[in-house]
């Protein structure tokens, strides 16, 4: 691994809280992700399943975690299975984790080889009342590919049909939504790397550069700082593409007078950052661009102040909608008659601001969070208002990452990433 790992104490704590939440006699299993094929012998670079990583810190394929707090043998209450190195693997890929190394990372004393899993699992099911399966219950999930976890679930349900079957994911959604101090530190490292990339880009952008060249500048800075790269597909959208929310082609030339909407974030140690800034290609906002920019920035600042313990996400989005409506009226995009239309599913402001304002952030860019429940301290959420005006040829989005705190109000973890339009213009004026 190229990143500095978190302490094994964090993973011990995560497992203890998970095991406290499962029912008596519950046995839970977590699988690593597959290495996914492209075609021929090509594969997508491995990405660990975030749930098993959260519980043990192991960042290696074909790993399995078994948690059984009521096991008769204390050595079977936490068991980690890792892939055994053979001569072929050692020559072609390099050695995998040893059992001792896996213990040092995870804090789990009983580490066996993956090939030993089915034998021990079969033995422990005789003691277990229920099996906890880790299905994907994220509210945005739309998974069409069968995962390694899915295959295990299908196999276990057929082999052990008389056991109760329960879901781990709802427990993890609650646990993972509250960040430990170490996790917040890891997110901050990812954000700091993103800041370095953005400052580099401010010194690089000028009329005639290509969007993919800007993407390359970020990639260079991210990897140089021990990140694996982008936390999600980068959006480098110039000109009319500002108005395409998930534009990832990044294949246009940046023209003088246009804006570039940059939605990128570095990952670090599997933790995500998520930043959006909108900058002028020529280094100077037009008066109209500046007016819209100022409005979006003001909405963002007001929105983040509402991210306090006890806030309900639905009510928060509703209040942001009110602020957005007022701003759109001031900009001449809506009139007061529009604002009085009572359509909860399609309020007038949605014509120019069609996405949500916030999402949870952590091991996933759109991280776990129980969105029907109140916000709690140590949650990290994005704040990303935007105004998109296709008829005027530009759109503006500004996104920050916010830590919810008990005291002193929310903390903007991205506060050091240039956002003030005067500062952006000043930094761009010093371009090479």
pTM for the whole structure: 0.96
Q: What is the pLDDT of residues 286-327, one digit of tens each?
A: 999 999 999 999 999 999 999 999 999 999 999 999 999 999
Q: What is the pLDDT of residues 160-213, one digit of tens each?
A: 999 999 999 999 999 999 999 999 999 999 999 999 999 999 999 999 999 999
pLDDT of residue 78: 98
pLDDT of residue 59: 97
- HEC string for the chain: CCCCCCCHHHHHHHHHHHHHHCCCCEEEEEECCCCCEEECCEECCCCCCHHHHHHHCCCCCCCEEEECCCCCCHHHCEEEEECCCCHHHHHHCCCCCCHHHHHHHHCCCEEEEHHHHHHHHHHHHCCCCEEEECCCCCCCCCCCCCCHHHHHHHHHHHHCCCCEEEECHHHHHHHHHCCCHHHHHHHHHHHHHHHHHHHHHHCCCCCCCEHHHHHHHHHHHHHHCCCCCECCCCEEEEHHHHHCCCCCCCCCECCCCCEEEEEECEEECCEECCEEEEEECCCCCCHHHHHHHHHHHHHHHHHHCCCCCCCCHHHHHHHHHHHHHHHHHHCCCCCHHHHCCCCCCCCHHHHCCCCCCCCECCCCCCCCCCCCCCCCCCCEEEECCEEEEHHHCEEEECEEEEECCCCCCCEECCCCCCCCHHHHHHHHCCCC
Beta partners for residue 80, in sequence order: 65, 111
The fraction of the chain above a pLDDT of 90, given in percent, is: 93
Q: Are 300 and 385 in contact (CB under 8 A)?
A: yes
Beta partners for residue 397, in sequence order: 386
| Largest distance between two CA atoms of the chain | 74
**pLDDT band at 142; cut points 50, 70, 90:** confident
Domains for the chain: give ranges and CATH numbers. 8-177 (3.40.350.10), 181-428 (3.90.230.10)
Q: What is the pLDDT of residues 39-74, one digit of tens each?
A: 999 999 999 999 999 999 999 999 999 999 999 999
pLDDT of residue 10: 98
**Rounded mean pLDDT of the chain?**
96
Q: What is the pLDDT of residues 245-270, one digit of tens each?
A: 999 999 999 999 999 999 999 999 99
Q: Are 83 and 63 in contact (CB under 8 A)?
A: yes
pLDDT of residue 359: 97
Report the phi/psi class of residue 104: left, alpha or beta, with left for phi > 0 and alpha for psi in -120 to 50. Answer: alpha
Q: Are 47 and 53 in contact (CB under 8 A)?
A: no
């Amino acid at each position: 691994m190229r990143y500095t790992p978190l302490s094994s104490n964090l993973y011990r704590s995560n497992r203890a809280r998970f095991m406290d939440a499962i029912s008596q006699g519950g046995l839970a299993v977590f699988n690593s992700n597959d290495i996914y094929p492209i075609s021929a012998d090509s594969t997508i670079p491995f990405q660990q399943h975030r749930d098993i990583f959260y519980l043990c810190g192991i960042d290696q394929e074909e790993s399995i975690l078994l948690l059984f707090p009521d096991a008769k043998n204390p050595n079977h209450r936490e068991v980690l299975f890792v892939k055994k190195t053979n001569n072929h693997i050692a020559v072609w890929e390099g050695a995998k984790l040893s059992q001792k190394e896996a213990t040092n990372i995870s804090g789990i004393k009983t580490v066996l080889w993956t090939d030993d899993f089915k034998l021990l699992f079969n033995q422990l099911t005789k003691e277990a009342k229920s099996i906890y399966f880790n299905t994907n219950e994220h509210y945005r999930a739309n998974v069409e590919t069968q995962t390694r976890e899915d295959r295990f679930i299908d196999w276990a349900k057929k082999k052990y049909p008389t056991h109760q079957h329960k879901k781990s994911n709802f427990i993890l959604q609650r646990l993972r939504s509250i960040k430990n101090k170490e996790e917040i530190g890891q997110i901050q490292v990812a954000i700091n790397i993103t800041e370095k990339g953005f400052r580099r880009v401010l010194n690089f952008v000028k009329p005639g550069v290509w969007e993919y060249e800007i993407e390359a500048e970020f990639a260079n800075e991210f990897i140089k700082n021990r990140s694996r790269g982008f936390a999600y597909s980068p959006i480098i959208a110039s000109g009319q593409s500002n108005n395409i929310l998930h534009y990832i082609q990044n294949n246009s030339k940046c023209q003088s007078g246009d804006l570039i909407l940059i939605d990128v974030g570095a990952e670090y140690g599997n933790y995500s950052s998520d930043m959006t800034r909108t900058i002028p290609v020529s280094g100077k906002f037009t008066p109209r661009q500046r007016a819209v920019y100022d409005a979006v920035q003001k909405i963002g600042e007001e929105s983040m102040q509402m991210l306090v313990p006890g806030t309900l996400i639905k009510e928060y989005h509703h209040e942001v909608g009110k602020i957005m409506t007022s701003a759109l009226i001031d900009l001449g995009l809506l009139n007061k008659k529009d604002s009085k239309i009572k359509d909860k599913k399609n309020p007038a402001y949605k014509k120019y601001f069609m996405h949500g304002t916030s999402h949870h952030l952590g091991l996933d860019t759109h991280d776990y969070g129980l969105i029907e429940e109140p916000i709690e301290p140590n949650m990290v959420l994005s704040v990303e208002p935007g105004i998109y005006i296709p008829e005027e040829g530009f759109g503006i989005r500004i996104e920050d990452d916010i830590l919810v705190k008990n005291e002193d109000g929310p903390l903007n973890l991205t506060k050091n990433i240039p956002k003030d339009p005067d500062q952006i213009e000043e930094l761009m004026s010093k371009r090479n």
